Amino acid sequence: MGFQDVSLKVDGARQLRKTLREASEGAADLKPVHKAVGDIVATRGSGIAPRGDTGNLANSVRTGATKTATVVRSGNNRKTASGVPYAGPIHWGWPERNIQAQPFLAEAAKDTENQWVKLYMQKVEELLDQIKGV
């Protein structure tokens, strides 16, 4: 038994390809959503950061967002009074120096998970709506 030539015509294939391409382009640039997610986590992180005499650690929390990622950072390497080079050891701990971890940014991400997952889900729904419109 051999193969037979089969012809298949898909109505709307061009429109489907166009819609999928547009949805893909929308998914490729999630920077605004990443920024919003980072801001939620950073706000919470700044609020629960350990506070010393200056509050510099809490004030150093900031958001970074790209098309593909959200980053929330804390600390800096300034040699001035506003310097916060100790952010890493405070957050992750440093057993050799008897510094216990206080993972305030990780806790902030966990505490606000319902909020930022909702933002991602809304964006996914928007993208799916573009595809459904075919």
| Residues 84 and 54: beta-carbon distance below 8 Å | no
Pseudo-torsion of CA 37, 118, 67, 102, nearest 10°? 40
Task: For 76-117, write each residue's pLDDT tens digit.
Answer: 988 888 899 999 999 999 999 999 999 999 999 999 999 999
Ramachandran area for residue 15 (φ above 0: left; ψ -120 to 50: alpha; else beta): alpha
Task: List the beta bridge partners of residue 94.
Answer: 99
CB atoms inside a 10 Å sphere around CB 105:
22
Task: For 20-69, write each residue's pLDDT tens digit.
Answer: 777 676 666 788 999 999 999 999 999 999 998 899 999 999 999 988 88
